[in-house]
Amino acid sequence: MAGWDYDKAKRVARWPLREVLMAHLEHVKDKAEEAFRHECLQHAMVAPWLKKDSGIKAPQVPDILKR
């Protein structure tokens, strides 16, 4: 939660466990959304040139983003 910031790490160490876990969940969701958007952009760029029977499908929404 603090990244590489030592002072922030000292402050985060005093947070209640629930707050740390909720912050971590938000961080994981943000990373999953970023990765999903990247995969969608990649697919959108190559989709017009794919053959119908290529077997490559659009990326699926990660489970963590469905909640």
Q: Within a 10 A sphere around the Cβ of 2, how many other Cβ atoms? A: 13
Break the chain into its structural domains and give their ranges: 6-66
Question: CA-CA distance, 53 to 34, in Å (whole number)?
Answer: 28
18-43 mean pLDDT? 96
Taking only the tens place, the pLDDT of each residue in 43-60 is 999 988 988 888 888 999
Please give the model's pTM, rounded to 2 decimal places: 0.80
pLDDT at 67: 76
Q: Within a 10 A sphere around the Cβ of 66, how many other Cβ atoms? A: 7
* Contact (CB, 8 A) for 19 and 51: no
